[in-house]
Amino acid sequence: MIAKKLVCMTCKKEYDIGPMFDGCPDCRQRGVVSPVEVVYDYNAVKAGLDLSAWLTAPRSIWKYRDLLPLSDPAHAVTLGEGGTPLVQIRTLNEASGLESLYVKNETCNPTWSFKDRQNAVSVSMARELGFKKVTTSTTGNQGVSTAAYAAAAGLECAVFCHPEAPRLQHDLIRFYGARSVSLKDRKQFLSTLVRDYGFFPCTGLTPLPVASPFGIEGYKTISYEIVMQLNGRVPDRIYAPVAGGHGIYGIYKGFRELKALSVVDRIPRMFGCQAEGCNPYVRSFQARQREVTTVKNPSTIALSIRDETGGDCGLRAIYDSDGAALDVSDPEIIRTAGLLARGGVAAEPASVAPVACALQAARAGQIGPRELVVCFVTGTAAKWPEALDRMVKEPIIHNPNFEELKLALWL
Ligand SMILES: Cc1ncc(COP(=O)(O)O)c(C=O)c1O
Ligand SMILES: [Zn+2]
């Protein structure tokens, strides 16, 4: 059994793995809110590392179990998450002029977003720690995913949704058997459920006001997968969408661990991507701040990344990897969504942002022609009918006569 513990990201104090949702207790006593993260005995992991098993095991993040926080495999919940395609897209190659531009297509997860990796771990940990109920706050994807994994685990689930979350996603949440609550200020009730009513929070890493360190561990498996898919090569650049910043931090942590295990010898530069109408990371990065600022009244079509502020861990991933925080306009997101779709990938606006940022950088000559670039497409367009309406331009051809059909089909 590999030794695993929780370590404070600020004071480095160590704790046993357990339900620690308010961050580091020691730091809290000093008035500092600091997340804790899971750290492993990497020498022990290295001694037993079998990369061929990573290649051949069936689709599920649990093939990386020595690097995941669960102690009893009987508590593992899976819907076959992970194992998503790493592909080149014709239209992106043409538009970028880059030889090695890849898309990590996370829309192929069980509930069509990368959130499934985080919920596979979070819900499993809820089960291991004896919780019967889970909860989360969401703009859509996270809630759908938590509801599905709670269903798979046989746990009750309450989801607090952003008022603009699509009706379709409320329907999916309820279809999986969870309660769906639409609410502007979601943090208050969520923390009450966690502190007073025995709910486990399937939330991010940063205590705002409660959080779980376990979801990050799911996100990081993306990096393990990419290195295996690239036969051991390391991307030069990663472009990922950023809201809370936990996804990008997880991806960074995955590479950092692979380096600690001597599987890779370097870490990619991490580029955190946002929309111009909601860019707290970009503002903080440009001011060289370590804390993420707040953007009042954010506005963008990309609801999944329309968070006023985010966790400092995402900024840390960017600084420590010599990356940057970037943004793109909504018209550019919509244009790039069309480009991706015409290359065969239907992505939601938030997960188009990294592709648009990479194309912007390629056009500006900032990416060398030989650089290996991976863009994270984290969620599908299929769960966002309203956004899809704004992104699709061609009309449906209704009951045409043949003359009209000829006109429509360029005959
Ligand atoms: C599709 C998609 N991409 C990216 C993100 C941003 O992830 P994070 O909040 O971890 O930065 C989200 C969050 O909801 C999302 O749903
Ligand atoms: Zn601490």
* Number of the ligand closest to the Cα of 11: 2
Which pTM does this prediction carry?
A: 0.97
Output the pLDDT for position 230.
Answer: 97
At residue 110, does pLDDT exceed 90? yes
Atom of ligand 1 nearest to the CA of 243: 11
CA of 281 to the centre of ligand 1 (A): 14
In three-state secondary structure terms, 399 is coil
At residue 369, does pLDDT exceed 90? no
- Could you read off the pLDDT of 132-152 as tens digits, one per residue? 999 999 999 999 999 999 999
**DSSP element (H, E) containing 100:** strand 100-105
> With bands split at pLDDT 50, 70 and 90, how would you rate the model's confidence at 95?
very high
Helices (H), 294-401: 312-320, 330-341, 349-363, 385-391
Spatial separation of the C-alpha atoms in residues 148 and 154, rounded to whole Å:
10
Whether the CB-CB separation of 228 and 52 falls below 8 Å is answered with no
Q: What percent of the chain lies above the pLDDT cut of 90?
A: 97
Output the pLDDT for position 50.
Answer: 94
Q: What is the mean pLDDT of the chain?
A: 97
In three-state secondary structure terms, 8 is strand
Higher-confidence residue of 201 and 58: namely 201
User: What is the third-level CATH fold of 86-112+216-391?
Assistant: Rossmann fold (3.40.50)
Q: Which two tokens stand for residue 235?
A: 């991307």
Whether the CB-CB separation of 71 and 1 falls below 8 Å is answered with yes
* Number of the ligand closest to the Cα of 246: 1
Site to substitute for ligand 1 among 109, 112, 141, most atoms within 8 A of C-beta:
141
- Could you read off the pLDDT of 393-407 as tens digits, one per residue? 889 999 999 999 999
Q: Which backbone phi and psi does 181 adopt, to 5 degrees? A: -115, 125
CA of 213 to the centre of ligand 2 (A): 14
Q: What percent of the chain lies above the pLDDT cut of 70?
A: 100
Atom 12 of ligand 1 has which residue's CA nearest to it? 304
Spatial separation of the C-alpha atoms in residues 334 and 356, rounded to whole Å:
9
- Could you read off the pLDDT of 11-65 as tens digits, one per residue? 999 999 999 999 999 999 999 999 999 999 999 999 999 999 999 999 999 999 9
In three-state secondary structure terms, 370 is coil
CA of 411 to the centre of ligand 1 (A): 43
Query: Who lines ligand 1 at CB under 6 A?
Result: 113, 139, 141-142, 241-247, 304-305, 348, 350-351, 378-379
Average pLDDT for residues 166-181, to the nearest whole number? 98
Q: What is the dihedral of CA 400, 405, 407, 409, to 10 degrees?
A: 140
Query: Strands (DSSP E) along 261-318, which ranges?
Result: 269-275
> With bands split at pLDDT 50, 70 and 90, how would you rate the model's confidence at 1?
confident
Atom 13 of ligand 1 has which residue's CA nearest to it? 304
Q: Taking Cα atoms as reference points, which of 213, 146, 215 lies closest to residue 178?
A: 146
At residue 233, does pLDDT exceed 90? yes
